[in-house]
Amino acid sequence: MGAKHGEGTRTEERGKDAKEQGGMDGTEQRDTEEKPWRKRTMEYLAVLFFMSSTFSALFGWMLAIALLLASRTTAAIMAVYLAWMFLGPGQPIRSKTWSTPLRNAGLWKHFVDYFPMKLIKTAELDPKKNYVFAYHPHGVICLGGWGNFMTNATGFDDRFYGIKLHPLTLKMNLNTPFLRTYLHWHGASDVSKETCRAILERGPGNAIFLAVGGALESLHAYPGEYSIVLKHRKGFVRVALQTGSCLVPVLSFGEPDTFLTRTPRPGTPGRQKLYDFYRWFGIVFPEVTGDFWHLFGFMPQRTPIVSVVGSPLEVPKTDGKKGDPDFEAVVDHYHALYIERLRDLWDRHKNTLALHRIGTMKVVE
């Protein structure tokens, strides 16, 4: 956590409000010691499983190659599976419905209790409309996005009844054997504009969820700091306009605090190397350390994550393509309005959910 407390001072009353809202007054950290050892162990194992799954892209292809080479039987099975993935109905954009058995798996309840996580709803969403949920900040690995939206562990489906949420991820993840099926069973699709439009044009009540800042925003994930990569990110606004879908800002307090960050600061040679790596490969690995049984490791720290879902910003359905001057003027207008909504969300909740902030929320890059 940051050494400074930023704006304002912690008061007894403010700490009480933070606790009532699932806030970040530090009591949850102490409550960990009061949990039964079996419960603490289940929480560690759930998070350990999730952290291990971040390497599953590599393991998925290694297992697929091993099965292709093992025997004729396993090779035939893998060939059918790969054909289903890349040529057949396994492509997410060709299938209108997916079974999501893992979305409600009991494992994820232990996962969200580890931090703990909480989902706060601030406005009703009409199930007769479609929505684009934009998540900020991404943090190191978007933990709040997984716990509060990719799974139903904090009650998204009940809180937003009638809204069918489709979390989106990098296409490279859905091009990985086994990982693809694992993500599909959580309801995930790829984040391409074609998939976004296909989902939102299926009918009312459909919604997509994406971390707008993406991997690049992970380089700004310093404890206590809320630097939002949004200045030039307008693709999600274009999709909303083209489909007439409402924009829903989501601000996740505590997301930057889950790891101790050693990523080089902007303007340094080390940071430039990370930017170059990102441009070449589309992914980046921030330099962080976590916690494991109170020792430094790759496990995230037990710090509360509270995702606040703001009120929807309605946009008119507008025909147009990227680069068209008239359409881009409309995009810029609603992009600016969206940033205002996000800032308002920050101002209304920072004094109860961001007690350890350093400075204020900044929109960068």
Enumerate residue ranges in the chain where pLDDT < 50: 1-30, 94
Residue 326 is predicted with a pLDDT of 96
Q: How many CB atoms lie within 10 A of CB 296?
A: 10
Q: Which residues contact 21 (CB under 8 A, 6 or more apart)?
A: 118, 120, 306, 349, 352, 353
**Alpha helix (H) ranges present in 118-228?**
143-145, 156-159, 171-174, 179-184, 193-200, 214-217
Residue 5 is predicted with a pLDDT of 41
Q: Give dist(CA 178, CA 12) in Å, integer.
A: 49
Cα within 13 Å of Cα(134), Cβ side: 27
Residues 267-277 pLDDT 10s: 898 888 888 88
Residue 296 is predicted with a pLDDT of 54
Contact 325, 343 (CB under 8 A): no
Residue 293 is predicted with a pLDDT of 54
Closest CA to 51 of 169, 165, 168, 147: 147
pTM here is 0.86
Closest CA to 218 of 138, 159, 327: 138
Residues 301-334 pLDDT 10s: 999 999 999 999 999 999 999 999 999 999 999 9
Order of strands, sheet of 288-292, starting from the edge strand that comes earlier in the sequence: 260-261, 288-292, 295-297
Residue 61 is predicted with a pLDDT of 87
How wide is the angle at C-alpha 171 spanned by C-alphas 59 and 43, nearest 5°?
55
Which amino acid is present at 173?
A: N
Contact 17, 273 (CB under 8 A): no
